[in-house]
Amino acid sequence: MIVHNITILDASGQVVDEFGFSRGEVILGRGADCDVRLESSAVSRKHARIRVEGPQCSIEDLGSSNGIFVQDQRIQQPVLLPPQCTIVIGDFVVEYASASTAGQDAPSAPSQPSALPPSLPTSGPPPRPSNPMPARPWYLIRFGDHLEGEYFELSETELSLGRTDANLLQVLDPSVSRVHAHLRLQGDHFVLVDNRSANGTRVNGVRVERAMVLREGDRVSFGDIRFAVTTDPTNFRFAETVGSTTSVTRPQAPGGSSNTLLLLVSAIASMLLIAGAIGLLLLAPSGPGMEDPPSAFEVAMAEMSRGERAMDQQDWMGAVAAFEAAQLAAPSRDTAQRLEAARAELAASEQLQICTAQLEAALNLEASGQTLVAAETYEDARTCHEALPTSSSSHEVAQQRIATQIDPALSTLYRQLGTLSLRNGDYAAALQTLERAAALLAEADEPVPATLNARLREALIAVADDAFEEEQWSRAAELYNRAGAIAPLDAAQSRRQSRATSRAR
């Protein structure tokens, strides 16, 4: 018999669940009705299904917002898992391994019927190899400040990086959190996970929202401190890392577009031009007939003006680059505050892209007739939009989307679900969804249609009758009162209301 073993690690690299099964299926998600709960806003209510398919397991995306990544590849349809692999669900890492009851690794199925999902390629090392360290050691080499050239060797299979000496990799800087990030060896590469740090972790300029595999030449920022990833720190060329416009940015979540890459390339090119201009202006010789170069203060003021123009145009990456150049030329509290504001706007715009992807997923699910999953995904999108900082420019966009797209769609879907539950006699579910529909209309100052009120009253009476039969007097009295506020109760209902009210006292 084949046993399928699952180990789930959170963003800090800690094991949060570990189990094995040999038949059936397992549902993973944020919802209370899932077999395995993954409590994170990056995980959908019903995110993934792992099902036994003969000697193997398949995994299926259940319409999640942020997708499923198997062996660093996003799946678009159900696929068969190789005997050992790594799965990323939101900010959780799921390690899968199959084995026989005798303790031997399970062989791959020699053939599969055409009805089974396709298999993923099984090339690459298992998640926990017997010889854990890669053939070539990896290093983080610092650049962009007075400690440029200092490097850390990633000498353990699991490491933490942060400000305190409790971390194997200690970075003394106020922008770095106490335990800022975790790195864990997977095969020949390290996987980076942000530990919900205050100032974030970025790879090639993109904020880390899920586990990310690091590769040669990647630029990693922990707060304000920048490192490059390399296997050869002694011969590393900083110019290629700092100035390269061909760096690959791997997506964090669905919904990204070529605009993000173009903005990133533009920002890096702008920083190169700024650095070159500052160098020429500050280092150019002066002499007879030549004007004195501008002072550091004048350079900083020019960059501040450029940053403010970028802020007006909502070019957040350009604003960050300009304010960083100004702070480099002549540090000041005002510049630091504007830089912080630009970084906050950039982070909010990146979060808005994730929210956009969730909204697009909900629209597609609604169009395909998957009413229940569409409603859950709209709720995820609503939560995501509501979480955007009120001080950011993205907040206004988010509120407009909630008012004009998300809430109207949710109200319609909940009415449909409530009507269906009434027909099926599931009055408790009907009451829950119809109440939600009415509440959304009330939030928008919209009148509740007569048909919705009638169905809500029907559900209230039915649930009140059940509570009455179970002698839940307070609950029954409250529900009868609410039903009576919509339309007068009949004689039998009034008698039950009076009796429940009397018994509840």
Q: Is the pLDDT of residue 344 over 80?
A: yes
pLDDT mean across residues, the chain? 81
**Cβ density class 15-38: b for 16+ within 10 Å, e for less:** eeeeeeeeeeebbbbbeeebebbb
Q: Contact at 8 Å (CB) between 16 and 8?
A: yes
Residue that wins the pLDDT comparison between 114 and 59:
59
CB atoms within 10 A of CB 188: 15
Q: Using DSSP, state whether 23 is helix, strand or coil.
A: coil
Q: Which of 290, 265, 172 is nearest to 222 (CA)?
A: 172
Tokens in use for 461? 């009476």
Supply the DSSP string of 196-222, one letter for each residue.
Answer: S-SS-EEETTEE--S-EE--TT-EEEE
Q: Contact at 8 Å (CB) between 89 and 209?
A: no
Q: What was the pLDDT predicted at 238?
A: 60
Q: Contact at 8 Å (CB) between 85 and 70?
A: yes
Q: What was the pLDDT predicted at 264?
A: 54
Q: Which of 189, 204, 274 is nearest to 246 (CA)?
A: 204
Residue 131 backbone zone (phi > 0: left; psi -120 to 50: alpha; other: beta): beta
Tokens in use for 499? 């009796």
Supply the DSSP string of 234-299, one letter for each residue.
Answer: GG--HHHHHH-S------SSTT--HHHHHHHHHHHHHHHHHHHHHHHHHH----TT-PPPPPHHHH
Which DSSP state fits 72? T
pLDDT in tens, 491-501: 999 999 999 99
Find which of 2-6, 302-306, 478-482 is predicted with most confidence, using mean pLDDT: 478-482
Which DSSP state fits 233? G
**Cβ density class 464-496: b for 16+ within 10 Å, e for less:** bbebbeeebbebbbbbbebbbebeebeeebeeb
Q: Residue holding tokens 């998957």?
A: 370
Phi, psi at residue 459, to the nearest 5°?
A: -65, -40
Q: What was the pLDDT predicted at 165?
A: 82
Q: Contact at 8 Å (CB) between 3 and 21?
A: yes
Hey, what's the torsion of the CAs at 198, 186, 217, 342, to 10 degrees?
-20
Q: Using DSSP, state whether 122 is helix, strand or coil.
A: coil
Q: Is the pLDDT of residue 109 over 60?
A: no
Degrees (nearest 5) of the Cα angle 167, 173, 176?
Answer: 60
Integer Cα distance of 128 and 107 in angstroms: 18
Q: Residue 48: which pLDDT band, with cuts at 50, 70 and 90?
A: very high
Report how far apart, in Å, the C-alpha atoms of 205 and of each of 168, 335, 348 are.
25, 20, 14
Q: Is the pLDDT of residue 277 over 90?
A: no
Residue that wins the pLDDT comparison between 20 and 139:
139
Q: What was the pLDDT predicted at 271?
A: 59
Q: Residue 119: which pLDDT band, with cuts at 50, 70 and 90?
A: low
Q: Residue 275: which pLDDT band, with cuts at 50, 70 and 90?
A: low
Q: Which of 426, 436, 427, 382 is nearest to 404 (CA)?
A: 382
Residue that wins the pLDDT comparison between 263 and 131:
263
Q: What was the pLDDT predicted at 468?
A: 93
**Mean pLDDT, residues 303-327:** 88
Q: Among 101-110, 155-164, 198-207, where is mean pLDDT lowest?
A: 101-110
What kind and span of H or E run contains 158?
strand 158-162
Phi, psi at residue 199, to the nearest 5°?
A: -105, 5
Q: What was the pLDDT predicted at 279?
A: 56
Q: Is 109 exposed, middle or buried (0-12, 13-18, 19+ CB in 10 A)?
A: middle
Phi, psi at residue 28, to the nearest 5°?
A: -115, 135
Q: What was the pLDDT predicted at 132?
A: 56
Q: What was the pLDDT predicted at 340?
A: 92
pLDDT in tens, 127-165: 443 435 667 889 999 988 888 888 899 988 888 999 888
Q: Is the pLDDT of residue 257 over 80?
A: no
**Mean pLDDT, residues 328-348:** 90
Q: What was the pLDDT predicted at 118?
A: 62
Q: Is the pLDDT of residue 225 over 90?
A: yes
